[in-house]
Chain A
Amino acid sequence: GESVGLHLPTLSVQEGDNSIINCAYSNSASDYFIWYKQESGKGPQFIIDIRSNMDKRQGQRVTVLLNKTVKHLSLQIAATQPGDSAVYFCAEIVTGANNLFFGTGTRLTVIP
């Protein structure tokens, strides 16, 4: 079946450094991608999304990059803060489909 996967299950960064979380997807038909942040005991929180007709999108301190050639997605967090510590999921969806496919997530730990 189709799957969304992550290269690194854990990532530790120093406060103030930039973080990069990577994600590989296998369904070439996927055309909408979302990054979610999930803190312990809470539901996934929307961070940023990108559609397949774009290769970069920026938000507040976050940037998502999409490389359709190699089916790769990344989330960049600038000046990482302790409050950024969480599990980050990328999710993909095919237009017209009904559900998001999630990977297993990357745990980001920010060291003060």
Chain B
Amino acid sequence: QSVLTQPPSVSGAPGQRVTISCTGSSSNIGAGYDVHWYQQFPGTAPKFLIFGNNNRPSGVPDRFSGSKSGTSASLAITGLQAEDEGDYYCQSFDSSLTAFVFGTGTKLTVL
């Protein structure tokens, strides 16, 4: 029962732009906690994708970007490529639960 809600799935054609939302509340994202994003392919560990709301680790293409506003955050992927197909998770902290929390996860399909 995650407190961060993501759409179960999103899709887009190669070259297009897609966004994945991460909706929280006043006890997590709305409380000012940072949001991080991870990419996961089937059968593999999550990969560090975006940190501190809108920063990319070394090696992550600039096609990936993050933003945060109010009680929500978003991940945008431009110039969609077949290799981007996978699952995406947001992550933050919830002060009511006193716990690190992940989003429900979004499956990205490249058409």
A and B pair up: no
